[in-house]
Structure 1
């Protein structure tokens, strides 16, 4: 049997949950490579005014009527996936950062805004590009 010092066991117990929840698997500086210009991301009708929708690795927001913005759906603090827009904000489930519909940091620990992704309206759809 191993005889580990109490301090080693406590440190290991503290680090294990942090390592288990690390979802930093994406590049935070570029648009998702799976998006081709002109690719339909969502119907404009599916993006409510004052809210948004996560589509794959992209979040599309409509802060005001007819204005659509796109961002990489990953927190700029540690790269955790942003799962949804809730009550007009994107909330990081890992460390509590909060972002506005314009990608701005509303609450840290993130200090950098969300990375912009080019989107445009084409007919009834929001498309990459």
Structure 2
């Protein structure tokens, strides 16, 4: 009876160790799945709410546009497939307007013509922070870009801001 009992003692710890490893592995998988479920929606949720605030801003700045195209019986959303980025009147002459959500900076020269550039600095990828004195400015490392050409004029950036094609229709500026 003693030898049988000794065999059970030896066998039980092995089974217990295997069970413990199995339970620990299952717990790790469950924890990883739970963590993944928490992380994935966190990346997707900010992207979804980012779009609705942009739509009200654009809709708020262009209520006349949808009413002018209100002849659509499809709910008016088909003509608004490409809403304006901004109204020309929102972009100061000699200055600019940074559209953070679209990552675009729109500038307006002294003749009133609008140009647009990427709002992402070519030095380290920071978002530009202001337009003043004829330059588009990045506060991260002090890069400055010519507001009419996007060419770097100061700071560590060596490459110009990439142009963004836009077209002016009346007072509205649309993506081209």
TM-score range, shorter chain: 0.5 to 0.7
Say whether 1:98 aligns with 2:160. no
Compute the displacement of 1:37 (Å): 7.8
Does structure 2 retain, via aligned residues, the 8 Å contact 1:37–1:127? no
Could you tell me which residue of structure 2 aligns to residue 51 of structure 1?
Answer: 95
5+ residue gaps, structure 1: 1-35
Say whether 1:67 aligns with 2:116. no
Quote the RMSD (CA, aligned, Å). 1.9
- Structure 1 or 2, whichever has the larger Rg, is 2
Indicate the structure whose relative CO is greater, using CA pairs within 8 Å and at least 6 residues apart.
Answer: 1
How many pairs were matched up? 95
Q: Deviations over 1:90-117 (max 9, x none)?
A: 1111111111112011112101000100
Give the whole-Å Cα distance in 2 for the aligned partners of 1:39 and 1:104.
28
TM-score for both structures, normalised by structure 1: 0.67
5+ residue gaps, structure 2: 1-79
Matches within 5 A, 1:23-42: 38-42=82-86
Question: Once superposed, which parts of structure 1, at least 4 consecutive aligned residues long, lie more than 3 Å away?
Answer: none
| Greater strand fraction, Structure 1 or Structure 2 | 1
